Structure 1
Amino acid sequence: MTDKILVERKDGVTTLRLNDPKAMNAMTADMAGALRDLLISESKTARSIVLAGSERAFSAGANLNAAMPDDTTGFDVGETLEKEYNPLMLTIRDLEVPVISAVRGAAAGVGASIALACDIIVAGKSAYFLEAFARIGLIPDGGATWLLTKAVGRVRAMEMMLLAEKIPAEQALDWGLITRVTDDGAVEATALDIAARLAQGPSQSYSLIRKAAWSAADSDFAGALSTERKLQKEAGETRDFAEGLAAFKEKRAPRFQS
C-alpha cells in the first residue's frame, strides 16, 4: 500500500484522494495498484466512491521519471499498462457502486482516463483535460482511445489526441466529456453531495445500471435490448425493487437499505 492515496469515509461515502501534490499526483505503478486494491475493498462497504486529487491537479498522468529507464532500448512501455493500469481501469468499470470524480486543475494522460471512466465527472472552472501522449511519441492509454471516442465522437477525439491541446472544463462540458462544471472551491462539495445522494439510493439497481451501460457501449441495439432483459430480471428480484414498488404503491419515499 502507498501513502500517496488518502482514504476518507463518511456516511456510506468513501473518498479516495490522490496525494502526491509535489508531482501533481502523477501516477506510479504502485499508486495504480494501490488505487485498484482500495476501490475493490472500499466498494464492499461504501455505497458510493469519490475520486479526488489536489488543488493543482487531479492527476498529471503517469510519472515518467519513475516509470522510464534512462535507456529505453528494448524496454516494453506497454508492460506497465498490462500489469497495473489496465487492471485498474477494468476495476473502475466493474465496480458494484457508483464512482464520481472531482477534478481540479490538470487531468492529463492516464489521470484523465481515470477521471473520465467515472460515472459522474465534476470539474472546476479552471480544470482541464489533456491527452499529451503525442508530445512524447506515445499513444493515449488507460482506455482513452475508447473513452474519448465514445464520449465526444471520433473527430473531436482525434483532435484531442493528435494536437495534444488542453481542453478547458467548459469546453469539455460542451463536448459531452464531463457532466458538471462548478466554481473551483465547490468541486469536492458538489461531488460529495452527489455521492451522498447516491449512497441513499438503490445500490443493487445502481450496480446493474452500471453493468448495463458499460455493456451497451460495446453492443448493437439488439444486444442492448437482450442485456436489459437479462439484468431487469435480476433487478426485479432485489430488495431495492421490492422497497421501491412498495413505496410507490404507498405514496411515500423509498427507504433503500441494501
Structure 2
Amino acid sequence: MTDVLIDRQDGVLRITLNRPDRLNALDTDMVNAIAAALEEAEGVRVAVLTGEGRAFSSGAAMAKDTVNPGILAAIDRLIHAITQAPYPVVAAVNGLAAGVGCSIVVAADVSIARSSGYVLQAFVNIGLMPDGAATELLAASIGRTRAMNLMLSGEKLPADTAVAMGLLTHSVPDEEFDEFVEATVARFAAGPTVAYAQTKAAVNAASLPTLSETLDREAEGQTMLAGTADHEEGKAAFLEKRQAHFLGK
C-alpha cells in the first residue's frame, strides 16, 4: 500500500495521507513525498492535502525502539514547499490533526475541518517542543498568548473553537465536508492563479519573516530534547497509554 497517494488532474493536485491504520502518522519518506509533489508546480492551480480514514495526521510516527532519521530536515522542506508553492494549498482536515500534522494544517493557505475534528499541539505531552514552524505559524495566526497556551497545555482544540480563534479557516458539518472542500478547490482552480501567487508570497513575507530561522531553532531544540529522560518517559507513556511522570531532565 502506498502511504501517500498523489493525483494530478485538471490543474488540481490531490495529496492523500494513506496510513489510516496508524492515523496517518508521518515518517520521513512520507514527508519528503508530500514535499516533492508540492514542489512540482508546473500545471498546478491548487493543491489539497487530506488524510484517509478518521484522521488528517496524528503527527510523526513513533515506536519504542525506532526513530525517523532525517525527519526534521524533511519537515523543513515540506513547510517551505507549502508556503512557497505558487498556488493555494488547501488542508482538508478530515479528523485529528496533531503534532506536525497540526503544523502542516496551519501552514496551508486555507484549512477546512470537519466539525467533529480537532487540532492538538501534542509535543509537550511527550517531552518535546513544537516543530514544523509551529512556534511562528501559530503565533502569527492567533497571537502569542493563545499560541503559548496551546503549545504548553497540550490540550485538544475542537474545530469550531480553532476557527473562532483564527487557527483554522472553516469548520463544516461532517456531512457537508466533502462538498465544501470540492467547491473551494474548484473555485481556486478557476481563479486568477498569478494574483493568488503574488498575494500569498506578500502575505507570507509580511507575517512569517523568520520562517527559516524558526525551523532551524526548532530543529536544534527538538534534537536536544529527543535525548532527554523526559522524552523517553513521555514516549513510553504514550505507547503504553498511561500518564507520564516527568522529572525535568
Structure 2: distance between partners of 1:180 and 1:143: 21
Structure 2: distance between partners of 1:78 and 1:145: 22
CA offset at residue 218 of structure 1?
A: 4.0
CA offset at residue 188 of structure 1?
A: 3.0
Code of the aligned partner of 1:64: M
Check conservation: 2:28, 2:69, Cα contact below 8 A.
no
Check conservation: 2:13, 2:48, Cα contact below 8 A.
yes
Deviates more, 1:143-152 or 1:6-15: 6-15
Counterpart secondary structure, 2:128: coil
Code of the aligned partner of 2:92: A
* 1:34 counterpart residue number: 33
* 1:184 counterpart residue number: 174
Unaligned ranges ≥5, structure 1: 70-76, 220-258
Percent of pairs identical after alignment? 39
Structure 2: distance between partners of 1:195 and 1:66: 39
Work out the number of aligned pairs and report it. Answer: 209
Q: Does 1:117 align with 2:117?
A: no
CA shift in 2, pair 1:98/1:66, >3 Å: farther
* 1:51 counterpart residue number: 49
* TM-score scaled by length of structure 1: 0.77
Code of the aligned partner of 2:44: A
Structure 2: distance between partners of 1:197 and 1:218: 26
CA offset at residue 164 of structure 1?
A: 0.3
Structure 2: distance between partners of 1:91 and 1:67: 30
Q: Does 1:203 align with 2:193?
A: yes
* 1:86 counterpart residue number: 76
Of 148, 155, 174, which residue of structure 2 is paired with 1:165?
A: 155
Counterpart secondary structure, 1:64: coil
CA offset at residue 66 of structure 1?
A: 8.5
CA shift in 2, pair 1:35/1:67, >3 Å: farther
Q: After the TM superposition, which parts of structure 1 deviate over 6 Å for at least 4 consecutive aligned residues?
A: none
Structure 2: distance between partners of 1:145 and 1:6: 29
Code of the aligned partner of 2:33: A
Counterpart secondary structure, 2:191: coil
Unaligned ranges ≥5, structure 2: 210-249
Flag the structure with larger Rg.
1
CA offset at residue 80 of structure 1?
A: 2.8
